[in-house]
Amino acid sequence: MRGVRLTAGLVALGLGLAACGSDTAAPGGGPGTPAASSIKLGLAYDIGGRGDQSFNDSAARGLDKAEAEFGIDIKELEAAAGETDAQKEDRLRQLAEGGYNTIIAVGFAYAPALKKAAADYPDVKFALIDSEDAQGPNIANLVFAEQEGSFLVGVAAALKSQTGNVGFVGGVNTPLIQKFEVGYTAGVKAVKPDATVQVKYLTQPPDFTGFNDPAKGETAAKGMFDAGADVVYAAAGGSGNGVFKAAKANGRLGIGVDSDQYNLPALADVRDVIITSMVKEVDVAVYDFVTSVKNDKFTAGSHVYDLKAGGIGYATSGGKIDDIQGKIDEYKAKIVAGEIKVPAQK
Amino acid sequence: MSGGVTLEQKAVSAKRGKRLSPMVYLLIAVGALAVLSLVRVLSGATDLTSSGTVQAALIAAVPIAMAALAGLWAERAGVINIGLEGMMVLGTFGAGYAGYQWGPWAGVAFGLVLGVVGGLLHAVATVTFGVDHIISGVAINLLAPGAALFLSKLYFADAPGGGQKQSPRIADAEKITIPGASDLLGTVEAKRWFFVSDLAGVLRGLTTEVSLLTVLAVALLVLTAWVLWRTPFGLRLRSCGEAPTAAESLGVNVYRYKYLAVVASGAFAGLGGAFLAVSSGQFRDGQTGGRGFIGLAAMIFGNWRPGGLATGATLFGYTDAMALRGSGAVHALLLLLGIALLVVAVIQYRAGHHVLSGVAAAIGVLFAWWYFTSDEVPPELVGAAPYVVTLLVLGLASQRLRVPRAIGVPYQRGQGV
A5 within a domain of the structure (yes/no): no
CB atoms A266 and B168 under 8 Å:
yes
Confidence of residue A181 (pLDDT cuts 50, 70, 90): very high
CB atoms within 10 A of CB A122: 10
Please determine, for residue B106, whether its predicted confidence score (pLDDT) is greater than 80: yes
In a mutational test of the A interface, the residue from B54, B204, B279, B324 whose CB has the highest number of chain A CBs within 10 Å is: B324
The residue-averaged pLDDT of A316-329 equals: 91
pLDDT of residue A251: 93
Q: Are residues B102 and B204 in the same domain?
A: yes
B361 within a domain of the structure (yes/no): yes
pLDDT of residue A200: 92
Opening angle at CA B199, ends B197 and B202, nearest 5 = 110
pLDDT of residue A113: 93
Q: Are residues B256 and B223 in the same domain?
A: yes
Residue A4: CB partners within 8 Å, gap ≥ 6?
none
Q: Are residues B264 and B398 in the same domain?
A: no
Tell me if residue A243 falls in helix, strand or coil. helix
| Cβ–Cβ contact B298 with A under 8 A | no
> Which domain-ending residue is among B265, B292, B322?
B322
Q: Are residues B379 and B284 in the same domain?
A: no
B416 within a domain of the structure (yes/no): no
| Cβ–Cβ contact B280 with A under 8 A | yes
Give A207's contacts in chain B (Cβ within 8 Å): 383
Q: Are residues A211 and A109 in the same domain?
A: no
Picking from A48, A242, A264, the nearest residue to B280 by CB comes out as: A242
CB atoms A209 and B56 under 8 Å:
no
Minimum Cα–Cα distance from A48: chain B residue? B165
CB atoms B282 and A268 under 8 Å:
no
- Which H/E stretch holds residue A196? strand A196-203
pLDDT of residue B337: 85
CATH number at residue A72: 3.40.50.2300
When the pLDDT of each residue in chain B is averaged and rounded to a whole number, the result is 87
Q: Are residues A76 and A127 in the same domain?
A: yes
Q: Are residues A211 and A328 in the same domain?
A: yes
Q: Are residues B344 and B304 in the same domain?
A: no
Q: Are residues B244 and B337 in the same domain?
A: no
Q: Are residues A331 and A274 in the same domain?
A: yes
> Which domain-ending residue is among B256, B290, B322?
B322
Euclidean distance between CA atoms B165 and B6, whole angstroms: 43
Please determine, for residue B254, whether its predicted confidence score (pLDDT) is greater than 90: yes
CB atoms A78 and B55 under 8 Å:
no
B166 within a domain of the structure (yes/no): yes
| Cβ–Cβ contact B385 with A under 8 A | no
In a mutational test of the A interface, the residue from B62, B151, B165 whose CB has the highest number of chain A CBs within 10 Å is: B165
| Cβ–Cβ contact A213 with B under 8 A | yes
Q: Are residues B395 and B355 in the same domain?
A: yes
Instruction: ipTM value, please give it.
Output: 0.82
Give A222's contacts in chain B (Cβ within 8 Å): 52, 55-56, 325
Give A238's contacts in chain B (Cβ within 8 Å): 166, 284
pLDDT tens sequence across B294-343: 999 899 888 899 988 998 899 889 888 888 887 677 888 888 888 888 88
Q: Are residues A268 and A294 in the same domain?
A: no
A229 within a domain of the structure (yes/no): yes
CB atoms B285 and A212 under 8 Å:
yes
- The 3-state secondary structure of chain B, one letter per residue: CHHHHHHHHHHHHHHHCCCCCHHHHHHHHHHHHHHHHHHHHHHCCHHHCCHHHHHHHHHHHHHHHHHHHHHHHHHHCCCCCCCHHHHHHHHHHHHHHHHHHHCHHHHHHHHHHHHHHHHHHHHHHHHHCCCCHHHHHHHHHHHHHHHHHHHHHHHHCCCCCCECCECCCCCCCCEECCHHHHHHHHHHHHCCCCCHHHHHHHHHHHHCCEEHHHHHHHHHHHHHHHHHHHCHHHHHHHHHHHCHHHHHHCCCCHHHHHHHHHHHHHHHHHHHHHHHHHHHCCCECCCCCCHHHHHHHHHHHCCCCHHHHHHHHHHHHHHHHHHHHCHHHHHHHHHHHHHHHHHHHHHHHHCCCHHHHHHHHHHHHHHHHHHHHCCCCCHHHHCCHHHHHHHHHHHHCCCCCCCCCCCCCCCCCCCCC
CATH number at residue B99: 1.10.3470
Minimum Cα–Cα distance from B381: chain A residue? A204
Give B172's contacts in chain A (Cβ within 8 Å): 245
When the pLDDT of each residue in chain A is averaged and rounded to a whole number, the result is 85
| Cβ–Cβ contact B214 with A under 8 A | no
Least confident of A104-108, A318-322, B178-182, B263-267: B178-182
Minimum Cα–Cα distance from A243: chain B residue? B280
> To the nearest whole percent, how much of chain A has pLDDT over 90?
59
Tally of domains in chain B:
2
Please determine, for residue A16, whether its predicted confidence score (pLDDT) is greater than 90: no
pLDDT tens sequence across B53-81: 899 999 999 999 999 999 999 999 999 99
CB atoms B163 and A266 under 8 Å:
yes
Question: What distance in Å separates residue A222's CA from the closest CA in chain B?
Answer: 8
CB atoms A218 and B379 under 8 Å:
no
| Cβ–Cβ contact B325 with A under 8 A | yes
A211 within a domain of the structure (yes/no): yes
Dihedral sign, Cα of residue B115, residue B121, residue B124, residue B129: negative
pLDDT tens sequence across B122-168: 999 999 999 999 999 999 999 999 999 999 989 988 888 787 788 88
Residues 169-198 of A with CB under 8 A from B: 173, 198
Picking from B276, B281, B285, the nearest residue to A241 by CB comes out as: B281
Q: Are residues B355 and B395 in the same domain?
A: yes
DSSP 3-state helix, strand, coil percentages of chain A (rounded to 5)?
A: 50, 20, 30
| Cβ–Cβ contact A51 with B under 8 A | yes
Please determine, for residue B13, whether its predicted confidence score (pLDDT) is greater than 50: no
Least confident of B205-214, B243-252, B394-403: B394-403
Q: Are residues B115 and B86 in the same domain?
A: yes
pLDDT tens sequence across A28-81: 333 333 444 488 999 999 877 777 777 888 899 899 999 999 888 899 998 877
Please determine, for residue A6, whether its predicted confidence score (pLDDT) is greater than 50: no
pLDDT of residue B398: 57
CB atoms A49 and B168 under 8 Å:
no
Question: What distance in Å separates residue B280's CA from the closest CA in chain A?
Answer: 5
Of the ranges A207-211, A262-266, A301-305, which is most confident? A301-305
pLDDT of residue B327: 62
A16 within a domain of the structure (yes/no): no
Tally of domains in chain A:
2
pLDDT of residue A33: 38
A8 within a domain of the structure (yes/no): no
Q: Are residues A47 and A124 in the same domain?
A: yes
Picking from A81, A203, A219, the nearest residue to B59 by CB comes out as: A219
Question: What distance in Å separates residue A251's CA from the closest CA in chain B?
Answer: 14
Q: Are residues A221 and A258 in the same domain?
A: yes
A343 within a domain of the structure (yes/no): no
pLDDT tens sequence across B368-401: 999 888 888 887 777 777 777 777 776 766 567 7
pLDDT of residue B110: 96
Range of the domain at B89: 50-322
Q: Are residues A160 and A139 in the same domain?
A: no
B72 within a domain of the structure (yes/no): yes
pLDDT tens sequence across A211-252: 888 889 999 999 999 889 999 999 998 889 899 999 999 999
Confidence of residue A208 (pLDDT cuts 50, 70, 90): confident
Please determine, for residue B187, whether its predicted confidence score (pLDDT) is greater than 50: yes
A30 within a domain of the structure (yes/no): no
Minimum Cα–Cα distance from B55: chain A residue? A219
B414 within a domain of the structure (yes/no): no
Q: Are residues A323 and A198 in the same domain?
A: yes
> Which domain-ending residue is among B301, B322, B343?
B322
Stated pTM of the model: 0.83
Helices B385-396 and B2-16 sit at what angle, rounded to 10 degrees? 20
CB atoms A215 and B165 under 8 Å:
no
B205 within a domain of the structure (yes/no): yes
Cα-Cα-Cα-Cα torsion B335, B341, B344, B348, nearest 10 degrees, comes to -150
Q: Are residues B151 and B291 in the same domain?
A: yes
Q: Are residues A178 and A208 in the same domain?
A: yes
CB atoms B276 and A215 under 8 Å:
yes
Q: Are residues B30 and B100 in the same domain?
A: no
Euclidean distance between CA atoms A252 and B247, whole angstroms: 59
Picking from A78, A82, A216, the nearest residue to B324 by CB comes out as: A216
Range of the domain at A273: 146-280+316-337
B413 within a domain of the structure (yes/no): no
Nearest to A153 by CA among A238, A233, A239: A233
pLDDT tens sequence across B79-90: 999 999 999 999
HSE-up of residue A167 (Cα within 13 Å, Cβ side): 34
CB atoms B162 and A81 under 8 Å:
no
Q: Are residues A152 and A260 in the same domain?
A: yes
Q: Are residues A325 and A190 in the same domain?
A: yes
Q: Are residues B156 and B178 in the same domain?
A: yes
